[in-house]
Amino acid sequence: MRTLFHPFLHEDEKLAAERNHLTARQAGELAKAAGAAKLAPFHFSPRYEGRHEALVEEAAQAFGFQLGRSTSCTAATAGFSTG
């Protein structure tokens, strides 16, 4: 099991790079390129309090998974797969 931390939204890409972190989008893209079977976003920065769903959605889209209306942030953070 490999773990990627991605506490930044892509809109904060410059700040993420300055702190040697990935954005949620970058984490999703990297997981997809690596052929990961599952992506489970976690470790949400307090800076995104109330915006966790944006982090999950950004990672999911980059990974190739579309969250449906019935998919909650809690369910999505349990992990999702493309297959």
The predicted structure's pLDDT at residue 38:
83
Predicted local distance difference test score (pLDDT) of residue 25: 93
pLDDT at 74: 47
Please give the pLDDT value at position 43.
77
pLDDT at 58: 92
**What's the distance, CA 72 to chain centroid?**
14
- CA–CA dist 76, 38 (Å, integer): 11
Domain ranges of the chain: 10-77
Percentages helix, strand, coil for the chain (3-state, rounded to 5) are 45, 5, 50
Cβ-count burial 51-66 (b if 16+ within 10 Å, e if not): ebbbbbbbbbebbebe
**pLDDT tens series, the chain, 83 aa:** 566 666 799 999 999 999 998 999 999 999 899 988 888 887 788 889 999 889 989 988 999 886 654 444 444 444 555 55
